[in-house]
Amino acid sequence: MKVAVLGAATTQFGELWDISPRALVREAVSEALLASNLRITDIDALYVGNMLSGILGGQENLGAFFAEELGFAGPAFKIEGACASGGLAFYNGAVAVRSGMFERVLVVGVEKMTDHKPEDVALGLMGAGSDVERQAGITFPGLYAILARAHMEKYGTTEEELAAVAVKNHFHAVLNSKAHFNNLITIAKVLASPKIADPLKLLDCSPISDGAAAAVIVSEAVAQKGQTPVWLIGAGVASDSLGLAGRKEITSLSAAKRAAKLAYKAARVGPRDIEVAEVHDCFTIAELIALEDLGFYEPGKAGKALLREELTLGKAQHLVVNPSGGLKACGHPVGATGVKQVVEIVSQLRGTSGKRQVEKTRIGLTHNVGGSGAVAAVHIFQGKAGSGKGKG
Amino acid sequence: MNSPVKIWRNQKKIKELLGKEGVIISWTQVRVPLAGFEEQAPYYVVLVRLADRNYLGQLVDVTGIVATGQKVKAVIRRLRRPEAEDVIPYGIKFVLLA
């Protein structure tokens, strides 16, 4: 059974002090439903991706919470998988449609982070790590710094190569009116920014953001109505140890590699077929590792490609990565991110991305990671209806 | 953050690690700390290869440079600032071997 995305939308991402989580979700959902030519009463089930509402805001039971807000009375679920919560919510929604249980599923990702002080947000995010990691006082920038140093020492990856990720993604974000940041930066500026956890600096890190994203997943029978459907042709989710100490190697993320393998196999495509990708660049090193884990480059080769600007809009020959600005510059409201990636790829495959449209793109991929690689979700989409190589 | 009973349960793990020696596989210096660790910042965190497992912990009493490949030993230290009514949490940290 084939599964498609109809309407998909995000709110503005950023420091949205005057907007509540309810209002964020209402806005993203209204736009996604309108674009799908559906009403909330047409929806069979609601999947909410969120990580921190309990630990920071004291609000759990988010399925019912947002069902109430949206005037929805059907089955509603919250899915949590740290920063991959959105990707996992989307995966579960797609599984439900593919199973035949539901025909029209609404997936929402949302996070409200800027209400809370940074130390508390950092501690909340460390809920994604292991007990030992919390006892060590390590932060998420710290965990990725440990991955970065290992990658640098194994492959000779440089701080300039890492900085090139941030420069590219800020360039893309300038073309995205919904992005958290709209300023260009340079490699020199990244290198001169204050250290957060050596070797990672402030401009190697994604920001603390608020935002929501929504997507409507439908069965093939429903897909012909509303907007041009974008087909989900492959999906994979994999898990690994919560903490870095439990990993066999720390210069790649095994969960991401395994999730990608599953998705490529289901879609019957390979890394060379992907023309646009939204990858999980919570830190610059995370995008560099993602490019290698997804098979776009051999291990140790992605850094040089980034310095050559091979993945930048307008310069790329084959593949553009993070046209939205990525987590780094579009912003990273953690529960929303995985759904936002889907929204961006769907828009790119429909050709509706305006100034940041990747030309002649047909197949796109999303890569969403939770924790320091404890969970990963990879989805592959195809734009042209009915011409799918995949089995849906 | 931690209930007394959770601290009591986890204390049993400390003696398994105490005194063990290992090698630094990777490391960072955390400049922007986690809540509860503010007065220790900046602090080193190291990923250490021990004989039978890898372990992640703080590296303390550092006077010189830190680098991968250095040998370290597990010691017991206060982990973080306790809340007013908390049991003081102790656990494993590492020191460099000369």
> CB under 8 Å to A34, separation ≥6 — which residues?
A7
Give B53's contacts in chain A (Cβ within 8 Å). Answer: 245
Contact between A364 and A277 under an 8 Å Cβ cutoff? The reply is yes
**The pLDDT value given to residue A386:** 35
Give A142's contacts in chain B (Cβ within 8 Å). Answer: 28, 30, 45
Give B43's contacts in chain A (Cβ within 8 Å). Answer: 137
pLDDT band at A292; cut points 50, 70, 90: very high
Residue the block writes with tokens 């964020």: A24
pLDDT along chain B (98 residues), means of 10: 80 92 98 93 97 96 97 96 87 95
Annotated catalytic, A318? no
Write out pLDDT tens, residues A147-196.
999 999 999 999 999 999 999 999 999 999 999 999 999 999 999 999 99
Cite the beta strand spans of chain B per DSSP E. Answer: 21-30, 43-49, 54-59, 71-78, 90-96
Domains and CATH numbers, chain A: 3-117+207-382 (3.40.47.10)
Q: Taking 50 as the threshold, does the pLDDT of residue A223 lie above it?
A: yes
Q: Taking 70 as the threshold, does the pLDDT of residue A391 lie above it?
A: no
What ipTM was predicted for this assembly? Answer: 0.97
> CB under 8 Å to A282, separation ≥6 — which residues?
A83, A140, A144, A205, A206, A327, A328, A332, A369
Residue of A55, A138, A144, A240 to mutate, testing the B interface (most B Cβ within 10 Å of its Cβ): A138
- C-alpha distances in angstroms, A314 versus A310, A348, A358, A364? 9, 14, 8, 17
B29/A197 Cβ within 8 A? yes
Please give the Cα distance from A181 to A330 (Å, whole number). Answer: 6
pLDDT band at A240; cut points 50, 70, 90: very high
Q: Taking 90 as the threshold, does the pLDDT of residue A333 lie above it?
A: yes
Catalytic residue among A172, A332, A367, A379: A332
CATH of residue B72: 2.40.50
**The pLDDT value given to residue B3:** 82
Is residue B89 within 8 angstroms of chain A, CB to CB?
A: yes
B68/A153 Cβ within 8 A? yes
Q: At CA A83, angle to CA A176 and CA A298, rounded to 5?
A: 80
pLDDT band at A389; cut points 50, 70, 90: very low
Nearest beta carbon to residue B37 from set A137, A141, A147: A137
A153/B57 Cβ within 8 A? no
A245/B47 Cβ within 8 A? yes
Annotated catalytic, A332? yes
Is residue A248 within 8 angstroms of chain B, CB to CB?
A: no
Q: Which domain holds residue B27?
A: 4-96
Write out pLDDT tens, residues A348-378.
999 999 999 999 899 999 999 999 999 999 9
Contact between A111 and A334 under an 8 Å Cβ cutoff? The reply is yes
- Number of independent structural domains in chain B: 1
Write out pLDDT tens, residues A191-212.
999 999 999 999 999 999 999 9
Q: Taking 50 as the threshold, does the pLDDT of residue A38 lie above it?
A: yes
Give A137's contacts in chain B (Cβ within 8 Å). Answer: 30, 33-34, 36-37, 40, 43, 45, 58, 79-80
Please give the Cα distance from A66 to A73 (Å, whole number). Answer: 10
